[in-house]
Amino acid sequence: MATQRTPLPYWLIAPILRGSGEVWIGVALWIAIGALVTAAIMQARHRTAWKGALLGAILGSVGGVLLLAPLWFGLVSLLDKRCPHCRKHTRPDAASCSRCDHAFAEAPRLDAFLATLTNLTRVILTIELALLAGGIILELSGKDALDTYGVLFEWGLGTPRARANSLLAATPIIFTGLGTAIAFRAGIFNVGVEGSLYMGALFAAWVGFTFTDLPALPLIALAFAVGAVAGGLWGLVPGYLKARLRVDEVVTTIMLNYVAIEFTSYMVQSGPFFVPGMANAMSKTVAEQAQLPQLVERSQLNASFILALLAVVVVIILMSRTRLGFSARMVGDNPLFARWSGIMVGRTILLVMFFSGLFGGLAGAGQVLGVHYNFTARFSRGFGFDGMTIALLGRNSPVGVLIGALLFGALRSGGTTIEVFTDVPIDLVDIVQALIIFFVAIDLNLDFLSRRRRAKTGPGAAPASAAA
Amino acid sequence: MPFLRMAGITKFFPGVVANQNVDFEVEEGEIHALVGENGAGKSTLMKILYGMEKPDAGQIFLQDRLVTIPNPQAAIALGIDMVHQHFELVPSLTVAENVTLGYEPRRGPFVDRQTMAARVRRLSEQFGLQVEPEARVSSLSVGVQQRVEILKLLYRDARLLILDEPSAVLTPQEVDDLFGVLRRLVAEGRTAIFITHKLREVMAICHRATVLRAGRAVGTVRVAETQPETIAQMMVGRELEMPRRQTSHAIAERPRLVVRDVHADNDRGLPALRGISFTVHAGEIVGLAGVEGNGQAELLQTLVGLRFPERGDILLDGRTITREGTRARREHGLAVIPEDRNRQGLSLPSTLSENLIATRYQAAPFSRLGLLVPGEIRRFAQRAIHAFDVRVRGPNVAVKTLSGGNAQKVVVARELAQPPTVLIAAQPTRGLDVGATQFVHNELLRLREQQTAILLISADLDELLALSDRLLVIFEGALAGELDRSQATRERLGLLMAGRAGAELHA
Amino acid sequence: MDIVSLLDATLRISAPLILVGMAGLLSYQVGLINIALEGMMLSGAFAAVVFGYELGSTWLGVLLAAAVGAALGALFALAVITLRANLIVAGLALNFLATGGTAYLMDILYDQSGTLAPEGLSKLPAVTIPLLDDAPVLGEILSGHSPLVYVSWLMVPLTSIFLYRMVVGGHIRAVGEHPEAAQTAGISVKGMQYLALILGGLLCGLAGAHLSVGDLPLFRERMTNDRGFIALAAVYFAAARPRLTAAACLLFGFFEALQFRLQLRDTVLPNEFLQMLPYLMVVVALVVISVRKEWRKGW
């Protein structure tokens, strides 16, 4: 799953392209963004009636476009390249002048910036399209879309407490997103991070309630370490099967997820960690000193969030600066070439799957030590699958994963309160999430609109690898 | 009037001219060989005939009637059908189901199995192609599978059968059976186009042969009136004459690469290398000539460590490396310029820098304490770009944006960055222009001065003759002969390549 | 433990599994992993209750449940085949859409949450097989089930005939195994894939209908309870052979029935191990297949 895809058309990031006919699409999309954002903000602040909000939205969007557009165009044209020979302006991602064919010197920072911009736009658009679709569903069911989104916005990002809760919700997803992204980058379609999460959670909890004589820091460190290793080892199972026996990893990881869920449930429901007298299926509570300190009052945001941020940095270093990161990228880009170059593909697969599971384990450990303070059977609300979604959304880049996780976290966190303040059921959040995932899956792939015909055969996925 | 006439066929792919104004004629009732090395354009030409590609220019006439063939179904409707090199058989379906796929005899929505089996059986008897209609294709040997493919063509009543490298997967006995079938088909008025590398077969069964080289039709000959070496020579070589280089030193006695009695199978389990043995000494360029498909690919894989021989040994500077992996061999000084530049030699989505260090990233100076050193990598990349004159904007471009010549320079830069002990160069100048070719040759000679042992595997006789100190010819997995530089001529090489092992080595 | 009631329960519980198994089987045969079985089944369950209630006829509800399933199958096909969406993620999306969508609609339409059990909705009438019903043991086990149970049994030979006796089925199998060969033979690869997914969706819709109106007529959130994945496990375990898949589904249904009864008493064998058994079996089966393949190649 290499990160190389057809880049988004330029018209999406620079609505006015000299002489381009696709201007209107870009402009329309930006108007929509403006409308939505303006309306949500207005609603959150003033809670005006929806008619007023709509009007405000229109005015706001027009004003927004009028304000934003020149700013945006101005910014983009600042980036334009100017041919030293014939003085023609060309788009910043051009490799050579369109008139005189003079090759431009390499500008890595500019290219990187444009790439980031493109990816960011893609992320925003995906989420935005999903929100739009969700809004339409809301309106069709007789609910007030603007009102709902206003609440969502306020309770996701409006108050400090809301923000803290969003970060809290984002924490496990950062870990699972990183874990999944590592594997995807190496061309391994690992759907099993959820299972690693459970294993990590279980064993971290075990450390937490067993080694109660240890002081805080060593106990916490040990718990995280054991949880991470447990998750990593769990990832090694499908990794070994793939590396040594060439068993396709998609189906095995899906199945092993369920094995992990059942196994860990067993451990607390009737197995060694069973606590008699407890109504729910949960383990003993971890020692007090192992419970992670809270970062903010009135929110369960805890130190595992800091760890998650550190993890992002670690993965950035891992993928771009270590030998394993290099071999993982090469295996993901062209496994045959990797073999010819002497890269040990089998070993790379094993290590990648270990690290992939490791981050899943950290996710679980973080939840145990920071939120629940014990291991409860089936506690995960699909953190692993969320991680997969944002890995795709963020194009397997650690920063992209972070941004995606923050967005998802805000959505989830804000979503839980919707039911309280509006008459919209919480399931709407599930629907919006599903739409986001759906749009991510499609990857805003508008190729089918283009005149170039694609290959005649279908996607041809299973039983072999289902990587897109 | 020829049965088939393809006139002025031209086909472009990005960066490459696959067919350039090719004229191709086939008479009714003949077996016509289409010969040429990889990349010569034969597959493209036949894909155009079969409707899998659309020509950019040119026309196709069937019995003097202009036809258009937009897709394979149209070709089949016209009576043109093809057996691909990689069979188009569905493994879990039966013989009869495969033969009739898409054209099944039905009873309503149901398959009429009796009729299906009966028809297949009838065809099978009619053409002497023994098959069991209810057998599952996956359980059949390759030779029988091929019979099923041919039956498929006959079921669709093909008048013109195109066979793409049919004997590549067959044992000698099966090849004889195939020839029997072809003769029978031709006897009853059908026509066959036989794409092949194997000159022995061209001589054995084909009436005429057309040679393609670098996208152009070089000529058509009557097989009965031509020597195989002539055809071999038509296939290889270039427009440009390559002057012979001067040897400036006597070859050292030190053997750097020793291959001893190596036996290896190919992917299908058939023997590809049958006891091949040779030595390459320090400061020597040993050229390996041979028509493609005689074991070169397997030899390359075995030397690199991607395939392990059933028997035999390989020694690098005296050290036995027969069972060692690729990384170990590279660490001991082995370098390779692979045959397939874009799939084996480069990672197209990756950057120039990444491609340049892919073989050595794990050690100093590119890695220290497990971490990559970007400064060193960048420095190396810039030096390489400069030294090898790679036309790029910078080291962070994706390699897929490079032209063929530039891309090959990247491969060469990578492999030659540290003077290797042994360099294996496979088709190093394929698809390159004069300048790039010159460059690669200069590098090879430079290495030779530095006492590297070089094995040059090439289908280009001129290249081999210009550069090699010694020439080996591989034929059907073993050495057909060995010639010293002074004794090697195109004619002699051609003989050996065509399997005429009895060729005398003196004038 | 009452063996007879256990077997009776097995048949009842494995019916939806078999139907979904056949659906998953069709996807497998056409070369696609169908993760969305779960969502299509859940939607069918919901549709059966809603339409059964609104239209006053449970049978109509079942019919429309099948239609809804087919529509979702078409949507999935559109995403994956035409829009080239990532297969797994699109499947996940569909599942979430179904989970959230059914709960949402339940709230919007009926102001209920958790469970939807409309008054006046009757479950499907039990079918008694005339002579068999009087038989001592077999009668209890085999007769008296909801009609969809018998439908599920019927689906197995039907699927078999469809795949192995009908021209269309042969085309589907060809597309799944060797799309190029099918293409050259004039078969529409995309067409076959669409067909398989839509038919699969239809079957999932029926399975869902059995869950909701075949038993106690109600819909509960998430009532499919990962059955879609168990059925998928059965398909992979059986390498998409219809009879073997159905047998695996029966086995897994048996596990579930057994586990429910074991839960009511203290036993040595934990429930969770029974529940994880299907998934483990798939992994083992896949390993065995790979080992055999490597063995043939000579390692």
Predicted confidence (pLDDT) per residue in A77-135, tens digit: 666 677 777 776 666 666 666 666 666 666 767 777 766 766 666 676 677 678 778 87
A10-24, B295-309, B409-423: range with lowest mean pLDDT: A10-24
Q: Name the residue among A247, A262, A427 with its Cβ closest to that of C104.
A: A427
Give which of B476, B487, B359 is closest to B423, Cα–Cα.
B359
Residues A170/A436, Cβ–Cβ less than 8 Å: no
A317 CA: distance to closest CA in chain B (Å) = 9
Identify all chain B residues contacting C170, using CB atoms and an 8 Å cutoff: 93, 97, 101, 104, 111
Pairing of strands B422-426, A81-82: unpaired
Provide the residue type at B9 as one letter: I
Residue A456 has pLDDT above 70, yes or no: no
B115 CA: distance to closest CA in chain A (Å) = 30
Which of the two residues, A330 and B418, has the higher pLDDT score? A330
Running DSSP on this structure, what letter comes out for residue B486?
G
**Closest residue, chain A, to B362 (C-alpha):** A323
pLDDT at A20: 35
Which candidate in C30, C33, C269, C281 is best for mutational testing of the A interface (most A CBs within 10 A)? C33
Structure tokens at B453: 């042992």
Under the banding of pLDDT at 50, 70 and 90, the label for residue C74 is very high
**Closest residue, chain A, to C101 (C-alpha):** A431
Mean pLDDT, residues C218-245: 91
A321 CA: distance to closest CA in chain B (Å) = 5
Residues A411/A148, Cβ–Cβ less than 8 Å: no
Does the predicted interface ipTM exceed a cut of 0.90? no
Q: Name the residue among B73, B76, B90 with its Cβ closest to that of C178.
A: B90
Q: Name the residue among A106, A325, A342 with its Cβ closest to that of B394.
A: A106
Considering only CA atoms, give the Rg of chain C. Answer: 20
Distance CA B427, CA B425 (A): 6
Distance CA B483, CA A414 (A): 80
Structure tokens at A128: 């935005």
Q: Subunits that touch chain A (at least 3 Cβ pairs < 8 angstroms)?
A: B, C
Identify all chain A residues contacting C103, using CB atoms and an 8 Å cutoff: 425, 427, 430
Running DSSP on this structure, what letter comes out for residue B129?
-
Provide the residue type at C215 as one letter: D
Distance CA A466, CA A250 (A): 7
pLDDT digits (tens, 9 = 90+) for B93-129: 999 999 999 999 999 899 999 999 999 999 998 888 8
A270 contact C CB<8A: yes
Q: CA dist A267 to A379, C211, C268, Å? A: 14, 30, 14
Distance CA B467, CA B289 (A): 12
CB contact under 8 A, B354 and A326: yes
B368 CA: distance to closest CA in chain C (Å) = 36
A433 contact C CB<8A: yes
**Closest residue, chain C, to B104 (C-alpha):** C167
Residue C43 has pLDDT above 90, yes or no: yes
Considering only CA atoms, give the Rg of chain B. Answer: 25
C147-164 and C167-177 helices, crossing angle to 10°: 70
pLDDT at A77: 62
3-state secondary structure chain A: CCCCCCCCCHHHCCCCCCCCCCHHHHHHHHHHHHHHHHHHHHHHHHCCCHHHHHHHHHHHHHHHHHHHHHHHHHHHHHHCEECCCCCCEECCCCCECCCCCCECCCCHHHHHHHHHHHHHHHHHHHHHHHHHHHHHHHHHCCCCHHHHHHHHHHHHHHCHHHHHHHHHHHHHHHHHHHHHHHHHHCCCCCCCHHHHHHHHHHHHHHHHHHCCCCCHHHHHHHHHHHHHHHHHHHHHHHHHHHHHHCCCHHHHHHHHHHHHHHHHHHHHHCCCCCCCCCCCCECCCCCHHHCCCECCCCCCCEHHHHHHHHHHHHHHHHHHHEHHHHHHHHHHHCHHHHHHCCCCHHHHHHHHHHHHHHHHHHHHHHHHHHHHCCCECCCCCCHHHHHHHHHHHCCCCHHHHHHHHHHHHHHHHHHHHHHHHCCCCCHHHHHHHHHHHHHHHHCCCHHHHCCCCCCCCCCCCCCCCCCC
Distance CA C62, CA C46 (A): 10
Identify all chain C residues contacting A460, using CB atoms and an 8 Å cutoff: 31, 179
Percent of chain B's residues with pLDDT above 70: 94
pLDDT digits (tens, 9 = 90+) for B453-487: 999 998 877 888 889 999 999 988 899 889 888 88
Identify all chain A residues contacting B338, using CB atoms and an 8 Å cutoff: 340
Mean pLDDT, residues A392-420: 85
CB contact under 8 A, C182 and B101: yes
B97 contact C CB<8A: yes
C185 contact B CB<8A: yes
Q: Name the residue among C80, C103, C273 with its Cβ closest to that of A459.
A: C80
CB contact under 8 A, C86 and A443: yes
List, in order, residues 6 or more apart from B373 with CB less than 8 Å away: B365, B366, B367
Mean pLDDT, residues A171-182: 96
Which of the two residues, C114 and C284, has the higher pLDDT score? C284
Tell me the residue ranges of DSSP E strands in B346-464.
367-368, 371-372, 422-426, 453-457
Identify all chain A residues contacting C179, using CB atoms and an 8 Å cutoff: 457-458, 460
pLDDT at C124: 81
Identify all chain A residues contacting C94, using CB atoms and an 8 Å cutoff: 434, 438
A100: phi > 0 → left, psi -120 to 50 → alpha, else beta; which?
A: alpha
B38-47, B340-349, B412-421: range with lowest mean pLDDT: B38-47
**Closest residue, chain A, to C279 (C-alpha):** A255
C51 CA: distance to closest CA in chain A (Å) = 18
A380 CA: distance to closest CA in chain C (Å) = 15
Distance CA A30, CA C161 (A): 54
Taking residue B285's Cβ as centre, other Cβ atoms within 10 Å add up to 27
- Which residues between 383 and 442 in chain B have a beta carbon less than 8 angstroms from any beta carbon of chain C? none
Identify all chain B residues contacting A333, using CB atoms and an 8 Å cutoff: 347-350
CB contact under 8 A, B90 and C182: yes
CB contact under 8 A, B111 and C166: yes
Residue A63 has pLDDT above 70, yes or no: no
Identify all chain C residues contacting B90, using CB atoms and an 8 Å cutoff: 173-174, 177-178, 181-182
Provide the residue type at C113 as one letter: S
Which candidate in A176, A408, A431, A435 is best for mutational testing of the C interface (most C CBs within 10 A)? A431
CB contact under 8 A, A344 and B396: no
Residues A211/A222, Cβ–Cβ less than 8 Å: yes
Residue B130 has pLDDT above 70, yes or no: yes
Which of the two residues, B141 and C30, has the higher pLDDT score? C30
pLDDT at B315: 94
Q: CA dist B30 to B35, B174, B182, B327, Å? A: 15, 21, 10, 51
Residue A2 has pLDDT above 50, yes or no: no
Which is it for the CA torsion C194, C189, A188, B349, positive or negative? negative
Identify all chain C residues contacting A467, using CB atoms and an 8 Å cutoff: 86
Q: Name the residue among B371, B392, B394 with its Cβ closest to that of A321.
A: B371
CA angle, corner C114, sides to C109 and C116, nearest 5?
50
pLDDT at A73: 60
* Residue B319 parent element (H or E): strand B319-320
CB contact under 8 A, C167 and B92: no
Identify all chain C residues contacting B102, using CB atoms and an 8 Å cutoff: 171, 182, 185-187
B22-36, B180-194, C104-118, C121-135: range with lowest mean pLDDT: C121-135
Provide the residue type at C204 as one letter: C
Q: Name the residue among A263, A458, A467 with its Cβ closest to that of C190.
A: A458
Residue C209 has pLDDT above 90, yes or no: yes
pLDDT at A17: 36
Which of the two residues, B43 and A66, has the higher pLDDT score? B43
Under the banding of pLDDT at 50, 70 and 90, the label for residue A26 is low
Taking residue B192's Cβ as centre, other Cβ atoms within 10 Å add up to 27
Identify all chain A residues contacting B344, using CB atoms and an 8 Å cutoff: 336-337, 340
Identify all chain C residues contacting B269, using CB atoms and an 8 Å cutoff: 297-298
Q: Name the residue among B306, B394, B401 with its Cβ closest to that of A108.
A: B394
Running DSSP on this structure, what letter comes out for residue C12?
H
Which of the two residues, B228 and A246, has the higher pLDDT score? A246
Q: What is the mean pLDDT of chain A?
A: 78
C184 contact B CB<8A: yes
B347 contact A CB<8A: yes
